[in-house]
Structure 1
């Protein structure tokens, strides 16, 4: 089921466009989110960011207003090629760090050479994750909610650090390329967006 991320300020227009394309769409509050079922059989299920449960009126304006940003939260993006971590106060970035690490690519050589490259690659990845954890522990000190993205295994490796055990990972998961500043900036916006699963009939 395709998922789209819609900024809260554009949510009411998004619903209007859905109705224009699919016909009358009654809205209901269900499972902590907002559902719409159009007369042509198309439907959507919207969820607030930061795993916030919604219990307000079944109308777009109230739902958009409930898409509040926490006073303190963080973003952690990790891939083998690098990491980005940021601490935010509501929508404002307070501190961030972006790091790139070279991790050996796979080799076509066989035998001992292949094993040596694999060990080197694993060591480089471990050092990269340790560096990411060091910066995350410093920058995210005092933060509870964090949105993550990149590579699942890489993020799990960083979050395994005991210093980060107090973090609560919340949706959405962000599928991002190797973190750069532009990637981090977009991830921060996406983390605050309404997540919508859409099925077109």
Structure 2
């Protein structure tokens, strides 16, 4: 049986020590990748762990839900320029309200206004108002953390002013709640964490490969 845990880079060595204490002496292998150092640990009881990094820096964050949004740039694990805001997009027709068509038009307008607002903040914060930055610019995000409503996030990133962000490595966190400052901080912590796939040791009587 396998499961996935998220561990911040600063806590990885402590986590590996705990893994060895729970499962016995471990062989640990490390491999450099474009996303950072991939770590594999195999324990004496047959348990193993694969820690996948997302060590892109600077790191851009875009969170969008129908109740609000957050956009930020982080450097060396610290939040820098950021914007957290609220934009209401109605989720259902009010009791005794408008016709379905009128409601759909208003809801669509609200969603468009939300997307436009987020695109503007992302252009300023992630691209420094330069829609065509030089490749390899030190000011450009090397990876993106995305969260919230998948459809709205896709609409934001598809906007022409953000074309310079296309093709960046992505860490998806679509289980995050409505963006607030604390949610933004959680997104940064989880976004830069190792995702560790832990496979439990074989059960009694199972053959160990």
TM over 0.5: same fold? yes
The aligned counterpart of 1:131 is 117
Partner of 1:17: 18
Of stretches 20-29 and 8-17 in structure 1, the one that deviates more from structure 2 is 20-29
CA distance, structure 1, for counterparts of residue 3 and residue 32 of structure 2: 19
Question: How many residue pairs are counted as aligned between the two chains?
Answer: 181
**Structure 1 unaligned regions, length at least 5:** 51-68
Match status 1:183 vs 2:183: yes
Please give the TM-score of this superposition, normalised by the length of structure 1. Answer: 0.78
CA contact (8 A) 1:106 1:118 kept: no
How does 1:77-156 map onto structure 2 within 5 Å? 77-107=63-93, 113-141=99-127, 142-145=139-142, 146-156=144-154
Query: Hey, what does 1:200 align to over in structure 2?
Result: 200
In proportion to residue count, which structure has more helix?
1
Superposed displacement of residue 140, structure 1? 0.9
Query: How much does 1:25 deviate?
Result: 2.6
Q: Which residue of 1 aligns with 2:47?
A: 42
Shift of 1:49: 1.4
TM-score scaled by structure 2? 0.76
Q: 1:158 aligns with which of 156, 159, 162?
A: 156
Deviation at 1:119, TM superposition (A): 2.8
Q: Does 1:26 align with 2:12?
A: no
1:135-162 CA distance string (max 9 Å, x none): 1111111423222222221211100111
Looking at structure 2, the residues matched to 124 and 37 of structure 1 have their Cα atoms a distance apart, in angstroms, of 51
CA distance in 2, matches of 1:10, 1:47: 14
Query: Alpha-carbon deviation of 1:124?
Result: 1.2
| Partner SS state of residue 92, structure 2 | coil
Q: Which has the larger radius of gyration?
A: 2
The whole-number CA distance in structure 2 between the counterparts of 1:2 and 1:117 is 43
* Superposition deviation, residue 30 in structure 1: 6.1
In 2, Cα distance between the equivalents of 1:140 and 1:31? 27
